[in-house]
Amino acid sequence: MGIFDFLSGEFIDVIHWTDNTRDTMVWRFEREGHEIKYGAKLTVREGQAAVFVHEGQLADVFTPGLYMLETNNMPIMTTLQHWDHGFKSPFKSEIYFVNTTRFNDLKWGTKNPIICRDPEFGPVRLRAFGTYSIKVGDPAKFLVEIVGTDGEFTMDEISFQIRNILVQEFSRTLARAGIPVMDMAANTRELGQLVGKEISAQLAEYGLAMPELYIENISLPPAVEEVMDKRSSMGVIGNLNEYMQFQAAEALGREGAGAAAIQAGLGAGLGMQIGNAAAQQAGPWGARTVSPAAVPPPPPVEHVWHVAENGQTKGPYSKAALGRMAADGALTRESMVWTPGQDGWMRAEDVAELAQLFTVLPPPPPPPAP
């Protein structure tokens, strides 16, 4: 065996990379002096690409496969250096392995609220967050534009810049979309597609691609959400007067025996007051005396009335308001009315308190004679 054959055999090398970090994007194959043996075997696995750099210049990009690093299968390298040595010597070059798989479940979110003009609420401030995935689409451009000579480049080194680009494009797209706030939850997929389309051209300048972008939530400030909750509650309640009456009935039902005890106590107290008043009037000899300061009776309770018209309830109205309605013809004898404590709906002329409103009006004319 000649010396050249011995040295050629000793210089055979195997170049490959296996990654178990899950966040490394680029890794440089390390050899002392950056000497790659002539005829070395280069293994590029699926989900990888190998970028060959010779004397500071990008020479070639290898896709998945097994390669023998010789001049006959490296056409680009032959234009950079002539292989006219009789001795097959090692050459000083660098190989960068690039991870071309997707990096998933990356977080993004707006640091500050985005001010938008909503067609219903006017100017509003919105926040949003979600996830996205990124991958290297052009290994050579990514190495030149981003990585440089970094021997181990991770996702954390570029994620901050990507988030800034993403939030900027999301803000512009959201402001131009004109989607009402109430409809954004139903259009998050479309918004994500619009933002992804806008950002793809800018990421392509770095050799990157964004396969997926998800918008998980778009929210309003807490004070605005609280007001919207109150507005929704009012819509659920409906008629406020009927709701208050229902609440009062519920309270009485919950009190039960307690309410009956209160009524019994009130009755006993009223009986004692009547007895004391009778004793004061009779005096010591049975003669009637006049109380120096008689307490006036409580004023009568004025009823409020509801009017049924075309299947809807209107009111409540005071008796004076009903008198004006009767004068204007808005309330007739046949109008159905109801007041708390009344047993069902009744015609206005059948209610003693309201019948007098129609006495000043002439009754309906008799039918024409045949």
Residue among 229, 225, 226 at smallest CA distance from 127: 225
Position 90 scores a pLDDT of 59
Residue where a domain stops, chosen among 72, 99, 126: 99
The stretch 70-88 carries a mean pLDDT of: 46
Residue-range definition of the domain harbouring residue 124: 103-224
Same domain, 70 and 109: no
Longest CA–CA separation in the chain, Å: 155
Q: 316 or 278, which is more confident?
A: 316
Q: At 261, is the pLDDT very low, low, confident or very high (cuts 50, 70, 90)?
A: very low
Considering the chain, what is the average pLDDT of its residues? 77
Q: What is the pTM of this model?
A: 0.55
Could you tell me if 113 and 204 lie in one domain? yes
Three-state secondary structure of 197-212:
HHHHHHHHCCCEEEEE
pLDDT range class, residue 78, cuts 50, 70, 90 = very low
Mean pLDDT on 263-288: 54
160 plus 50 within the same structural domain: no
Does 323 fall in a domain? yes
Using CA atoms, how far residue 241 sits from 213, 244, 251, 318, 359, in Å, is: 49, 5, 15, 15, 31
271 token code pair: 């009986």
What separation, in Å, do the N-terminal and C-terminal C-alpha atoms of the chain show? 143
Confidence of residue 107 (pLDDT cuts 50, 70, 90): very high
**Is residue 85 a part of any domain in this protein?**
yes
Query: Which pLDDT score, from 0 to 100, does residue 68 have?
Result: 84
Pairing of strands 14-15, 41-44: parallel
pLDDT at 209: 93
User: Considering the domain boundaries, does residue 311 fall inside one?
Assistant: yes
Q: Which of 5-9, 128-132, 142-146, 190-194 has the lowest mean pLDDT?
A: 5-9
Q: Indicate whether 163 belongs to any domain.
A: yes
Note the pLDDT of residue 366: 75
- Helix and strand counts by DSSP (H, E) for the chain: 10, 17
Do residues 117 and 216 both lie within one domain? yes
Domain contains 231? no
Cβ-contact 96, 147 below 8 angstroms: yes
Does residue 93 share a domain with residue 26? Answer: yes
Q: Is the peptide bond before 366 cis (omega within 30 degrees of 0)?
A: no
pLDDT of residue 9: 41
With beta carbons less than 8 A apart as the criterion, state whether 187 and 179 touch: yes
pLDDT in tens, 169-179: 888 888 887 78
Query: Is pLDDT above 50 for 267?
Result: yes
Highest mean pLDDT out of 6-15, 152-161, 242-251, 333-342: 152-161
341: domain CATH number is 3.30.1490
The pair of three-digit structure tokens given for residue 244, joined into one six-digit string = 């208050």
What is the model's pLDDT at position 310?
83
Residue where one domain finishes, among candidates 75, 99, 123: 99
Q: What is the CATH number of the domain that holds 181?
A: 3.30.479.30
Number of domains comprising the chain: 3
- The mean per-residue pLDDT over the stretch 291-296 comes to 60
- Are 126 and 203 in the same domain? yes
262 lies in some domain? no
The token duo for 143 is: 């190495």
> Based on the domain organization, do 126 and 180 belong to the same domain?
yes
Q: Is the pLDDT score of 360 beyond 90?
A: no
Most confidently modeled range among 244-248, 260-264, 278-282 = 244-248
Residue 38 has pLDDT above 60, yes or no: yes
Mean pLDDT over residues 190-217, rounded? 89
Of 56, 73, 99, the residue that ends a domain is 99
How far is Cα 97 from Cα 226, in angstroms, rounded to an integer? 53
* Same domain, residue pair 91 and 110: no
Contact assessment for residue 191 and residue 221, using Cβ atoms and an 8 Å cutoff? no
Q: How many percent of the chain have pLDDT more than 90?
A: 18
Long-range contact list for 6-12, CB < 8 A, 24+ apart? 7/87, 8/38, 8/39, 8/88, 11/37, 11/38, 11/39, 11/40, 11/88, 11/90, 12/37, 12/39, 12/40, 12/41
Same domain, 121 and 216: yes
Shared domain for 208 and 115, answered yes or no, is yes
DSSP class per residue in 233-291: HHHHH-SHHHHHHHHHHHHHHHHTHHHHHHHHHHHHHHHHHHHHHHHHHH-TTS-----
pLDDT band, very low/low/confident/very high, at 294 (cuts 50, 70, 90) = low
Judgement on whether residues 325 and 342 belong to the same structural domain of the protein:
yes
| In-domain check, residue 299 | no
Of the candidates 317, 290, 291, the residue with the CA atom closest to the CA atom of residue 303: 317
31 & 15 share domain: yes
